[in-house]
Amino acid sequence: MIEVQNVTKSFDGRTVLHDITTTFETGKINLIIGQSGSGKTVLMKSLVGLIKPEKGRILFDGRDIITMGPKDIKNLRKEIGMLFQGSALFDSETVLGNVMFPLVMFTDMTPAEMKDRAMFCIERVNLTGAENKYPSEISGGMQKRAAIARAISLNPKYLFCDEPNSGLDPRTSILIDELLIDITHEYGMTTVINTHDMNSVLGIGENIVFIYKGHREWVGDMKKIFATESKALNDFVFATDLFQEVKEYILKHGFTAKGAARRGD
Amino acid sequence: MSLIESIGNFGKYCIFMARVFSVPDRWRVFGKRTVAEVSKLGIDSIPLVIIISLFIGAVIAIQMQLNIASPLIPAYSVGLATRDIVLLEFSNSILCLILAGKVGSNIASEIGTMRVTEQIDALEIMGVNSANYLVLPKVVALVLFMPVLVILCMGTSILGGYLVALVTDLITVSRYVYGLQALFQEWYIWYGLIKSLFFAFIIASVASFFGYYVKGGALEVGSASTKGVVTSSILILLFDVLLTKLLLQ
């Protein structure tokens, strides 16, 4: 579990995060949603320690990343996997090389053991056959899956994803969402996803934190989001006529989305 | 660039270097990466060094013959002057200025692209010291291999002058070879090699610094690459003066 307590961050005198307090739960898909410029990326970067807030605490199962020394941060980071918006695969390495990278750097496995583990992760994300290809030789969706395989290769306790569906077609986005929810439940990870993809919000959001103008405006799950009275959240999530109709349908007939069946709700 | 900004950048560079020169996470990985960088930064520069050295060596010999043709100056002076220009300045300072363009822009653009595509953030989040992992092998590889390039440049440049003597009637081969041997000072070779170590460090570290702190996109990567080359060239010239004063006086 990750607890965010009273986190405040400013840039050049402009406060981007105002006293944010929330919790990201273990074994669940936790979504951070909000408009562009709302502060969700700053919150995500603060969570992984790339940005240091001026005030507040960020506790990883009781360990505060803000006050940690460099050695403890380094150890904590071995428990963290991250999927970047642009995948951030190393161009000079093959898919197999990318997935093996954390194992080479942080384990004492033999080369054969590392390869076995990497191939297991590659199979887990359905990329078998692409292990010897370079990132530039595979599609955006495959790059995202390779990045997920790299992120889970060390069996992380915490998985962070920054806009995992950015630049992907709807079908591939759903595949990535399904993969994320499956591995989160399978490995019992605390998964935090920064997104403004409404399909993800309504399909896999088990714990949703809505950030509005740097404030934590709303917290709930994908069922509660349909009944929200927050105008800012309504305007953001149900911005199109289609989503308005979906909302009205759900409120009338109840929540029977395919995603719910997948999660076993 | 204002003075305050320059001082700020120098401070940032020192902090960056402290991160670069920390103990590698994995020595085996560091060794492999250093060998790869020797190949990429050093061995791949050999054709350029040979071509430039051969032609410049030939041009120096021709210029010397044409400009010092006088009954008061011995004919072997062409070989002597060509040798000393090559050993003292061309094979180290000028070669390093040329390599600052080739190798420096390669380093700055590679690291800069890794920064803007979040590959460096990925390394940091994994708990890898990205400055050390990316930059130290480049610095070590270039410092180790630069003397090889300098010696190659010395030999090829002198060969260029020799070919001029061989295929033209400007100077005889025997006088050129006699000039090469006349008043030879071994220290000039060591002087060139010592200078090249400093210049190699400047090229690799300054280009890496500008690439590492890129913010933005492709345009900024190009801009960082240019800044890296310009700054390292100026520093090479500055250190050339300082080292010449220290080593030759």
A75 vs B: CB within 8 A: yes
Q: What are the sequence ranges of the domains in chain B?
A: 25-248
Interface of B to A at Cβ within 8 Å reads 25-26, 29, 113-114, 117-119, 121-122, 124-128
Of A75, A78, A105, the CB nearest to B29: A105
Residue-level pLDDT at A258: 54
How far from chain centre, in Å, is Cα B74? 34
CA B110 – CA B138 distance, rounded (Å): 11
Residue-level pLDDT at A255: 66
Strand partners, B190: none
Which token pair is B36?
Answer: 């790869």
Of B117, B119, B128, the CB nearest to A105: B128
CA B196 – CA A28 distance, rounded (Å): 57
Strand partners, A15: A10
Most confident of B25-29, B151-155, B183-187: B151-155
Portion of chain A with pLDDT greater than 70, in percent? 96
- Chain B positions in Cβ-Cβ contact with residue A135 (cut-off 8 Å): none
Most B-contacting residue of A71, A76, A106 (CB-CB within 10 A), to test interface: A106
Of A76, A78, A88, the CB nearest to B122: A88
Residue-level pLDDT at B6: 86
Whether A254 shows a pLDDT value over 80: the answer reads no
Residue-level pLDDT at A264: 47
Task: Provide the mean pLDDT of chain B.
Answer: 94
CA distances from A36 to A32, A53, A194 (A): 12, 20, 11
pTM for the full model? 0.86
Distance from CA of B135 to the nearest CA of A (A): 15
Burial grade of A99 (CB within 10 A; 0-12, 13-18, 19 or more):
buried
Residue A252: which H helix or E strand, with range? helix A241-253
**ipTM here:** 0.81
> What is the average pLDDT across B59-88?
90
Residue-level pLDDT at A110: 93
Distance from CA of B119 to the nearest CA of A (A): 5
Whether A146 shows a pLDDT value over 60: the answer reads yes
Please report, as a single letter, which amino acid is at residue B184.
Answer: F
With CB atoms and an 8 Å threshold, state whether A75 touches B25: no
Distance from CA of A77 to the nearest CA of B (A): 5
State the SS3 of chain B: CCHHHHHHHHHHHHHHHHHHCCCCCCHHHHHHHHHHHHHHHHHHHHHHHHHHHHHHHHHHHHHHHHHCCCCCCCCCHHHHHHHHHHHHHHHHHHHHHHHHHHHHHHHHHHHHHHHHCCHHHHHHHHCCCHHHHHHHHHHHHHHHHHHHHHHHHHHHHHHHHHHHHHHCCCCCHHHHHHHHHCCCCCHHHHHHHHHHHHHHHHHHHHHHHHHHCCCCCHHHHHHHHHHHHHHHHHHHHHHHHHHHHHHHC
Residue A29: which H helix or E strand, with range? strand A29-33
**Structural domains in chain A?**
2-79+158-263 (3.40.50.300), 89-155 (no CATH)
- Chain A positions in Cβ-Cβ contact with residue B121 (cut-off 8 Å): 50, 84, 88
Our CA angle for B180, B181, B186, nearest 5°, is 100
- Chain A positions in Cβ-Cβ contact with residue B124 (cut-off 8 Å): 50, 77
Whether A261 shows a pLDDT value over 80: the answer reads no
With CB atoms and an 8 Å threshold, state whether B119 touches A74: no
Which token pair is A43?
Answer: 């919150």
> What is the average pLDDT across A15-25?
93
b vs e for A142-173, b when ≥16 Cβ sit within 10 Å of the residue's Cβ?
A: bbbbbbbbbbbbbebbbbbbbbbbbebeeebb
Whether A198 shows a pLDDT value over 50: the answer reads yes
With CB atoms and an 8 Å threshold, state whether B125 touches A82: yes
With CB atoms and an 8 Å threshold, state whether A104 touches B29: yes
Residue-level pLDDT at B243: 95
Residue-level pLDDT at B1: 59
Distance from CA of A126 to the nearest CA of B (A): 22
- Chain B positions in Cβ-Cβ contact with residue A77 (cut-off 8 Å): 124-127
Residue-level pLDDT at A35: 86
> What is the average pLDDT across B8-12?
92
CA A39 – CA A211 distance, rounded (Å): 7
Residue-level pLDDT at A228: 83
Residue-level pLDDT at A237: 82
Distance from CA of B113 to the nearest CA of A (A): 10
Portion of chain B with pLDDT greater than 70, in percent? 100
CA A119 – CA A83 distance, rounded (Å): 18
| pLDDT 10s digits, B92-125 | 999 999 999 999 999 999 999 999 999 999 999 8
A50 vs B: CB within 8 A: yes
CA A178 – CA B82 distance, rounded (Å): 71
With CB atoms and an 8 Å threshold, state whether B126 touches A50: no
With CB atoms and an 8 Å threshold, state whether A88 touches B26: no
